[in-house]
Amino acid sequence: MKLASGGLRTDHMPGNKYNSRSQSRVDRLLRVRELRKFSRGFNIYESDAAGSSGGNSSSDCCRDPDYLPEAEDGDEHDDEIMEPSTVVRRMLADGCYSSEGKPMKQRLLVVANRLPVSAFRRGEDSWSLEISAGGLVSALLGVKEVDAKWIGWAGVNVPDEVGQRALTKALAEKRCIPVFLDEEIVHQYYNGYCNNILWPLFHYLGLPQEDRLATTRSFQSQFDAYKRANQMFADVVNQHYEDGDVVWCHDYHLMFLPKCLKEYNSKMKVGWFLHTPFPSSEIHRTLPSRSELLRSVLAADLVGFHTYDYARHFVSACTRILGLEGTPEGVEDQGKLTRVAAFPIGIDSDRFKRALELPAVKDHINELTQRFAGRKEKMLSFSCLLLVMLGVDRLDMIKGIPQKILAFEKFLEENPVWRDKVVLLQIAVPTRTDVHEYQKLTSQVHEIVGRINGRFGTLTAVPIIHLDRSLDFQALCALYAVTDVALVTSLRDGMNLVSYEFVACQGAKRGVLILSEFAGAAQSLGAGALLVNPWNITEVANSIAYALNMPADEREKRHRHNYAHVTTHTAQDWAETFVSFESHPPTPFLLLADFFSDKASLLATGFNLPFFSGSELNDTVVEAQLRTRQVPPLLPSILAVDRYLQSKNRLLILGFSSTLTEPVESSGRRGGDQIKEMELKLHPDLKVPLTTLCSDPKTTVVVLSGSDRSVLDDNFGEYNMWLAAENGMFLRLTGGDWMTTMPEHLNMDWVDSVKKELLGLILNIARPHLYGITNTQVDIEFGRLQARDMLQHLWTGPISNAAVDVVQGSRSVEVRSVGVTKGAAIDRILGEIVHSKNMVTPIDYVLCIGHFLGKDEDIYTFFEPELPSEPVNSSRTKTAEVIKASSERKQTVKPANNKNTMRGSQGRNPKAPIASERKISSSLSNHINNSNQWRSSQEVMSWHEGSSVLDLKGDNYFSCAVGRKRSSARYLLNSSEDVVLFLRELAVACTHHSSHPDLLW
């Protein structure tokens, strides 16, 4: 938090067009949903779209696993810079329809570690392929407007070129493109870094010990292989990419891929989706390559997760590890926003419902019913259905199979009446059978199952049926249909679609779902399921008892809720929301929604609502394109130097922190290098250039900073320049005394009480570093909570009746007097400089460079020649008037020697101000009009002596933001290193020009 005697925060500054925030994602999605409903009545292209499908409905796609949609040429987008409304119309008009007037398909490149096919070599140049039925395959098959191609590893090693060409040709028929990885890469990239490092870490199992790594003893060698493999994927994508394509990267295997793709083409539309959990920042920070992976993912336009918790963990990791700003929209890094959102995946519920109507599945259901009924007749002397509990899992550490079986054992112990009335059928699909940990898990499960069956079983029946195998789709659907209770006890799961599949097949039986709260599906099906902590065996056992005894009406209510969610939030909806669109290629919905606030105005423009896209990725890309157009261009150093040399009186205003300081590398460490961050030091390479520039008699250098006076004294005391400390509230010429630029009658009675409140807060924060009242090392989340609490105390107490503004930044809270900003301060500073130097030559060149916060960027607009700087009907001061005014001041103004007084108010001729002195810049007029009770007419007059000496043309004004891409400045420099290079160039040119004034630079 920061206490300063600064001033008013303006909500909107003239010309500040870069800091507007887009509407929230929730608002946008609500408006998408509303417009989707509304558009159904206006969809004039519905019949054409239906006719163009050619009979290949989503049902046909799902019945035929070999079906993949035919390709059509993708569209190209014109990226020239134009007005937003023009962009909208252009994107609506171009590339949306084929020459026949029908909608064109969006080309989509789906990049995953494995292709959705299994390849078997039959000869030197012969391959057979089998389509794999996965959730992602089903999702994209249901999106008719997408022309999808798959890029990935085929799962086999093909070292010879003949085999590679043959496999590539065979895969092309399935619209698949292979990435060929050699055995060494596969071992280190896939078996090593992916499966032994990332997968355990993301599932909260922690990093393995060095001596337990599969193929190497080094994290770094596996990470290098991981990056090489991702680059190989990127190379294949680049070979097949066409303008307008959307690239959708999947899972933890390809976290490095978005960066590789953006380096190839920064305009490429890239989305990345994680199918596993993303751990908390405290877990992720243990990863040696934590920062590099996070920054690589942030290169994508849209980052998706299954649940809000995973998205929140990712944003928190970027905030805490990289020090970036997390927003409700995602993660922002110097103006680039990577949108982060939750997209819960679903299943193709229609496929399961159709399967239940197949004769083969009905036969399976009858067979299972009779088998369990026959067992009941042999075991029981009374009529009672044998209830079936089902578990379907991979035999994996995270699935909680031992915990499930132990809970069932406890249930049987505590409920002996149920021992002959219920059976647990556990399907455990073997995985990674060559890994020791999995072999140990298999033995453990078999041991527990044998012990329980031996304890509670009979000669004719056992309570647990355990199968170490997978079932075909029809048998699995039949098993779902006869199940009474499904038991999902995942210790950590990205989503777990078994729960969705069970609900989809329970249309008739209305079974009960017991679901682990650590599965991603708990956030979607939690209302209808019985949520449990799988580590609490007693809780799971009690939930089993409750589920078996649940009344029919409660089962009906719970099932109805889950069934509605599963059948409406399908895999197709998931894919459409992320990357596809409802009925047409990508349309900038967000732009249209921003320009037109209601449906009527939309229709009045001639746009039909079916154009609207439900695509989160396409909307994100459109937003990013507009944000990119708003980023200031890089500083034209040659032009800036040339104008500098041609000018007669120059003013250089330089920020300090992150502008003239040496950058501090944090390397992802918590809090960064705190010692270096606390000690602001001038960049050593700037000493010579600053000395040269400060020695130029035609140049006035001002360092304007929020730092304390002592900090500026320590760093700039040896130079001939002006120092403006604490946001310009204190000023001195090096070698002189500090003076205040605040108006004399400014009420500062509130300072002591506010300082006491802030100090009390600082004392409650761990590891406080008091810089003024600024704490930059506190935990970000904790700091936000403390800041919010402090603001409540301030507004209800010390400043409730004070004329102050509270300005809250991303990591700071400033309390400032009303009417004081950096823009206002620079005007007063110029007045002091004019008096001190007896300046008669108008300032005709201004260079303003700094890493100023958004609330302080009014300093850029203060000098902007293209903005009106006076009230209406007044104009800028002419050069002759300035010289005349300055000449009069020479005769009437006496230098002030008193410390901490406003020099501009002393020794002033009491006569009426001349015309030039009456002219008040618009950047200050509002503050003056609102604060007349504090300022006399003489003070107002003195405030504008700085601006009155300006004779600035647009070509001679260079405002430049350092490292802040969303800025009201004219130009941009990326870092303090670029500032060093430019000031060096300027100093060299200045020296050369002084020695050879007749030569052009």
Instruction: Report pLDDT for 185.
Output: 92
Residue with more model confidence, 54 or 357:
357
Which token pair is 48? 């054409």
**pLDDT band at 124, cuts 50/70/90?**
confident
Helix locations, 115-245, DSSP H = 135-141, 161-172, 183-185, 199-202, 219-240
- Could you tell me which of 741, 969, 952 has the C-alpha nearest to residue 850? 969
Which tens digits make up the pLDDT trace of 817-835? 776 667 778 888 888 888 8
Instruction: Report pLDDT for 133.
Output: 62
Please check whether residue 131 is in contact with residue 66, taking contact to mean a CB–CB distance below 8 angstroms: yes
| DSSP notation for 337-353 | EEEEEE------HHHHH
Instruction: Report pLDDT for 824.
Output: 74
What are the Cα distances from residue 661, in Å, to 199, 683, 685, 725, 976? 41, 5, 10, 16, 7
Which residue is listed with tokens 């336009």?
301
**pLDDT band at 1000, cuts 50/70/90?**
low
- Domain count across the chain: 3
Angle (CA) 487-490-491 rounded to 5° is 140
Instruction: Report pLDDT for 19.
Output: 36
**3 state DSSP class of 635:** coil
Within-domain flag for 776: no
- Judged against a pLDDT cut of 60, whether residue 58 lies above it is answered with no
Within-domain flag for 715: yes
- Judged against a pLDDT cut of 90, whether residue 240 lies above it is answered with yes
Which tens digits make up the pLDDT trace of 546-597? 999 999 999 999 999 999 999 999 888 888 888 753 333 333 333 333 333 3
pLDDT-above-90 percentage for the chain: 42
Within-domain flag for 574: no
Please check whether residue 534 is in contact with residue 404, taking contact to mean a CB–CB distance below 8 angstroms: yes
Domain identity same for 228 and 271 = yes
The secondary structure element, H or E, covering residue 846 is strand 845-850
Please check whether residue 848 is in contact with residue 653, taking contact to mean a CB–CB distance below 8 angstroms: yes
Please check whether residue 751 is in contact with residue 803, taking contact to mean a CB–CB distance below 8 angstroms: no
Task: Name the least confident of 148-152, 529-533, 938-942.
Answer: 938-942
Task: Name the least confident of 83-87, 145-149, 321-325.
Answer: 83-87
Please check whether residue 672 is in contact with residue 864, taking contact to mean a CB–CB distance below 8 angstroms: no
Domain range holding 943? 637-746+820-993
The strands making up 485-488's β-sheet, listed across from edge to edge, are 464-467, 422-429, 387-394, 485-488, 512-516, 530-532
- Judged against a pLDDT cut of 60, whether residue 82 lies above it is answered with no
Cβ neighbours of residue 334 under 8 Å, at least 6 residues apart?
A: 963, 964, 965, 966
Average pLDDT over residues 9-26: 38
Average pLDDT over residues 966-993: 90
Average pLDDT over residues 513-535: 94
Instruction: Report pLDDT for 401.
Output: 96
Average pLDDT over residues 926-940: 34
- Say how far apart CA 654 and CA 725 lie, in whole Å: 12
CATH number at residue 862: 3.40.50.1000
CATH number at residue 31: 3.40.50.2000
- Judged against a pLDDT cut of 60, whether residue 5 lies above it is answered with no
- Say how far apart CA 415 and CA 409 lie, in whole Å: 10
Domain identity same for 314 and 401 = no
**3 state DSSP class of 363:** helix
- Judged against a pLDDT cut of 90, whether residue 525 lies above it is answered with yes
Within-domain flag for 544: yes
- Say how far apart CA 13 and CA 924 lie, in whole Å: 11
Instruction: Report pLDDT for 867.
Output: 53
The total number of residues shown for the chain amounts to 1001
Within-domain flag for 1001: no
**3 state DSSP class of 121:** strand
Within-domain flag for 771: no
Domain identity same for 560 and 694 = no
Question: Alpha-carbon dihedral of residues 36, 37, 39, 44, nearest 10 degrees?
Answer: 110
Domain identity same for 247 and 355 = no
Within-domain flag for 800: no
Domain identity same for 184 and 288 = yes
Instruction: Report pLDDT for 622.
Output: 66
Domain identity same for 659 and 524 = no
Domain identity same for 340 and 356 = no
Instruction: Report pLDDT for 89.
Output: 38
Please check whether residue 69 is in contact with residue 110, taking contact to mean a CB–CB distance below 8 angstroms: no
- Say how far apart CA 96 and CA 422 lie, in whole Å: 58
Domain identity same for 288 and 389 = no
Cβ neighbours of residue 582 under 8 Å, at least 6 residues apart?
A: 36, 576, 610, 612, 613, 614
Please check whether residue 336 is in contact with residue 627, taking contact to mean a CB–CB distance below 8 angstroms: yes
Instruction: Report pLDDT for 45.
Output: 36
Within-domain flag for 953: yes
| Residue 561 phi, psi (nearest 5) | -65, -50
Task: Name the least confident of 141-155, 843-857, 860-874, 899-913.
Answer: 899-913
Average pLDDT over residues 857-861: 84
Could you say which of 565, 599, 629 is where a domain stops?
565
Please check whether residue 486 is in contact with residue 499, taking contact to mean a CB–CB distance below 8 angstroms: yes
Instruction: Report pLDDT for 520.
Output: 92
- Judged against a pLDDT cut of 70, whether residue 369 lies above it is answered with yes
Which tens digits make up the pLDDT trace of 499-522? 999 999 998 889 999 999 999 999
Average pLDDT, the chain: 74
Domain identity same for 605 and 641 = no
Average pLDDT over residues 707-712: 89
Could you say which of 555, 576, 611 is where a domain stops?
611
The secondary structure element, H or E, covering residue 375 is helix 359-379
Domain identity same for 428 and 288 = no
Which residue is listed with tokens 């001939």?
720
Task: Name the least confident of 273-277, 486-490, 819-823, 848-852.
Answer: 819-823
Is the sign of the CA dihedral 882, 884, 890, 892 positive or negative?
A: negative
Cβ neighbours of residue 84 under 8 Å, at least 6 residues apart?
A: 591, 594, 595, 626
Instruction: Report pLDDT for 968.
Output: 83
**pLDDT band at 811, cuts 50/70/90?**
low
**3 state DSSP class of 727:** coil
- Judged against a pLDDT cut of 80, whether residue 746 lies above it is answered with no
Helix locations, 394-536, DSSP H = 401-414, 436-456, 473-482, 498-504, 522-525
**3 state DSSP class of 514:** strand
Hey, what amino acid is at 202?
F
Percentages helix, strand, coil for the chain (3-state, rounded to 5) are: 45, 15, 40
Cβ neighbours of residue 591 under 8 Å, at least 6 residues apart?
A: 84, 87, 88, 622, 626
Domain identity same for 329 and 442 = no
Average pLDDT over residues 490-506: 93
Residue with more model confidence, 334 or 936:
334
- Say how far apart CA 891 and CA 909 lie, in whole Å: 9
Which tens digits make up the pLDDT trace of 866-893? 554 443 333 333 333 333 343 443 333 3
**3 state DSSP class of 961:** strand
**pTM > 0.75: yes or no:** no
Instruction: Report pLDDT for 23.
Output: 47
Is the sign of the CA dihedral 237, 240, 241, 245 positive or negative?
A: negative
Domain identity same for 322 and 181 = yes
Instruction: Report pLDDT for 579.
Output: 72
Which tens digits make up the pLDDT trace of 328-368? 889 988 778 899 999 999 998 999 999 999 999 999 999 99
Residue with more model confidence, 48 or 721:
721
Which tens digits make up the pLDDT trace of 379-423? 444 445 689 999 999 999 999 999 999 999 999 999 999 998 999
- Could you tell me which of 283, 237, 239, 252 has the C-alpha nearest to residue 189? 252
Average pLDDT over residues 933-961: 61
Residue with more model confidence, 924 or 749:
749
pLDDT-above-70 percentage for the chain: 65
Task: Name the least confident of 91-100, 139-148, 231-240.
Answer: 91-100
